[in-house]
Amino acid sequence: MRKYLYLILAIVSALLTSCKPETEYIYVQRHPRAHVMMSFGFNNLSASLAEDIRDLEKGFIPGSAPLDNYLFVFSHLVESSYSAPSAPKLQRIYLGPDGNPMKETLLEMEPGTVSNSAECIREVLEFLKEKYPEIESFGVLMSSHGTGWTPPGYCTTGYKNEGNSDDIEWRRSAFPEKYLSGEYLYEPLPGVKSMGYTVTGVNPTVAYETDIREIADLLPFKLDYIIFDACFMGGVEVAYQFRDKCRYMCFSQTEILSDGMDYTTMISDLLSGNSADLVSLATNYFNHYDTASGPKRSATISVVDCTKLDALAAVCRDLFRRYDISKDKVNESKLQKYFHYSNHAWFYDLFSIAEAAGASETELSDLQWALDCCMEYKAATPIFALYGFPIRVHSGLSMYLPETERKNLNSYYSALDWNKVTGLVKTE
């Protein structure tokens, strides 16, 4: 009887073994990603930013299936005039059943809302995080006027008041007790993109610009990337301020022409693959302008891994201790500027500053190594044809070259994270 039992067990075992599939499948749940375009266009760039959104809709658009990625657009544009405040809108764009882009309005704010304020940016991101908990990671693009790391209003009006310590209005706008951002007198800007610039008065008379420290402080969670389609944002100060708030940054060291980035290919680079391809995005941007003729052949761009900036900060800290890094002490012939107008004279190439300060070949080699560590991609046209200045050196990051007489600017700069770590501007 027992041998029959063994026989039955052997037959059952054989049957079970023969039923086992040759390949074992492991099912992994894919979590969707999201790209959030923030278009702060209640200013003289409104028409250009509206065109950017239309170009975006001509390219790749994600679907609306459960595992598809998400595309959101938060826009604030001029509808009739500056005297008629418009309402910022948050919309989801997805591909409809007929193959055409569909728009779903998720949130509409009060007319006149300052869309580029840090509080508003946080509100939008928190809303999306709560409404779509399935989204695994977010990336953000911010497009508007902007002026790098400088304090609100400095490049427009504040620089005129340097040397006048009794200028109460300047100090009120640049160093308010309760708010880092502020309003200042509106002055029309040329047809280039510069960060967070919203007209808040009528006719217009007043504008609001956002402080990068406040944006970084109020971001509610860490982002996969931040793209600045805005002038002068490609500085080490900006990257270092956001180092704990995003993994990658993509930005320009110079001004950006009002056409902006290549929005027709952008969403394909960011959402069609398994991860966002910022290098492809930056390459498309550069090729668009490098192949242009005349003044439009004007571009700089870089992609930085913010997790690797501490090595750069350590190398720069040593250099800043050994050398007097100030405008009146360096060899100006070796400086690479990224600006044309004097009210933008706060953006020089980081590597060229060290070179102009007299750093040795070994020290420059160490600096280049640190730059290479954090640089995913960089490119520059041989000349910024819009203004006609050559781009001899392009390290992928700009930096401030301190000027002794700019006490207001230096006081502000000393509070930036980059200065706290490297000591570029000496505090008293």
pLDDT digits (tens, 9 = 90+) for 218-256: 999 999 999 999 999 999 999 999 999 999 999 999 999
Residues 282 and 290: their CA atoms lie apart, in Å, by 12
Residue 388 has pLDDT above 70, yes or no: yes
pLDDT at 1: 43
Closest CA to 387 of 300, 301, 302, 296: 296
Q: How far apart are CA 256 and CA 260, in angstroms?
A: 6
pTM across the whole model: 0.87
At 152-171, the pLDDT tens digits run: 888 877 777 675 443 334 43
Q: How much is the pLDDT for 56?
A: 95
- CA distances from residue 46 to 40, 187, 191 in whole angstroms, order as listed: 8, 16, 11
Q: Assess whether pLDDT exceeds 60 at residue 100.
A: yes
Distance CA 161, CA 333 (A): 28
How many CA atoms are closer than 13 Å to the CA of 181, on its beta-carbon side? 24
Give the model's pLDDT for residue 180: 40
> What pLDDT is stored for residue 45 in this prediction?
87
Pick from 20-29, 210-219, 301-310, 413-422: least confident: 20-29
Which amino acid belongs to residue 368?
Q
CA–CA dist 302, 248 (Å, integer): 10
Distance CA 180, CA 227 (A): 22
Alpha helices (runs of H) in 134-291, residue ranges in sequence order: 168-174, 212-218, 236-241, 263-271, 278-290
23 has a pLDDT exceeding 70:
no
pLDDT: which is higher, 196 or 298: 298
Q: How far apart are CA 229 and CA 285, in angstroms?
A: 10
The interaxial angle of helices 46-56 and 263-271, nearest 10 deg, is 50
Q: How many CB atoms lie within 10 A of CB 395?
A: 24
Neighbours of 55 (CB within 10 A): 17
Give the count of beta carbons closer than 10 Å to the beta carbon of residue 138.
Answer: 23
Helix axes 309-322, 361-374, angle to 10 degrees: 160
Q: What percent of the chain has a predicted confidence (pLDDT) above 90?
A: 71
Say yes or no to pLDDT of 15 above 60.
Answer: no
Collapsing DSSP to helix, strand or coil, 104 comes out as strand
Q: How confident is the model at residue 186 (pLDDT cuts 50, 70, 90)?
A: low
pLDDT of residue 427: 73
d(CA 289, CA 267): 19
Region 299-322 average pLDDT: 97
What was the pLDDT predicted at 207?
Answer: 79
pLDDT digits (tens, 9 = 90+) for 28-44: 446 899 999 999 998 88
Mean pLDDT, the chain, as a whole number? 87
